[in-house]
Chain A
Amino acid sequence: MALSADQVLAGLAEIVTDETGIATDAVQLDKSFTDDLDIDSISMMTIVVAAEDKFGVKIPDDEVKNLVTVADAVNFITSAQG
Chain B
Amino acid sequence: MLKTPEPTTFSRILSVGASRGSKAVTNDDIAGPIDSSDEWIRQRTGLITRARAAEGEEAVDFATAASLEAIEKAGISPDQIDAIIVATISNPVPTPSLSTLLSARIGAVGAAAYDISAACAGYTYAVAQADALIRAGLAKYVLAIGAEKLSEWIDPTDRSISFLLGDGAGAALIGPSDTPGISKSILGSDGSAWDKIYMTNTLFEYRDAKNTTSDSDTAEINWPTIRQEGQAVFRWAVWEMAKVAKEALEIAGVKPEELSAFIPHQANMRIIDEFAKQLKLPSNVVIAKDIETTGNTSAASIPLATHRLLEEHPELSGGLALQIGFGAGLVYGAQVVVLP
Contact = CB atoms under 8 A, between A and B. Distances in A.
B234 A45 contact: yes
A12 B235 CA distance: 18
Nearest to B196: A61
A33 B229 CA distance: 19
Contacts of A49: 235, 238-239
Contacts of B238: 49
Interface string A41-52: 110111011000
B207 to A, nearest CB: 33
Given A40-B44, A42-B270, A46-B274, A61 B230 contact: no
A49 B274 CA distance: 12
Interface in A21-68: 40-42, 44-46, 48-49, 61, 64-65
B231 interface: yes
A41 B231 contact: yes
A45 B235 contact: yes
A61 B231 contact: yes
Interface residues of A, number: 11
B274 A41 contact: no
Interface residues of B, number: 12
B232 interface: yes
Contacts of B235: 45, 48-49, 61
Contacts of B230: 41-42
Contact of B44 (A42, A61, A64): A42
Nearest to B229: A61
B273 to A, nearest CB: 10
A61 B270 CA distance: 18
Interface in B269-308: 270, 274
A61 B232 contact: yes
A41 B270 CA distance: 11
Interface of A: 40-42, 44-46, 48-49, 61, 64-65
> Considering the complex of A and B, which 10 residue pairs feature the smallest CB-CB distances, nearest first?
A61-B232, A42-B270, A45-B234, A41-B231, A45-B231, A45-B235, A42-B234, A49-B239, A64-B231, A41-B230
Given A41-B231, A61-B229, 9 more contacts: A41-B230, A42-B231, A42-B268, A42-B270, A45-B231, A45-B234, A49-B235, A49-B238, A61-B235
23 contacts: A40-B44, A41-B231, A41-B234, A42-B44, A42-B230, A42-B231, A42-B234, A42-B268, A42-B270, A42-B274, A44-B231, A45-B231, A45-B234, A45-B235, A46-B274, A49-B235, A49-B238, A61-B229, A61-B231, A61-B232, A61-B235, A64-B231, A65-B231
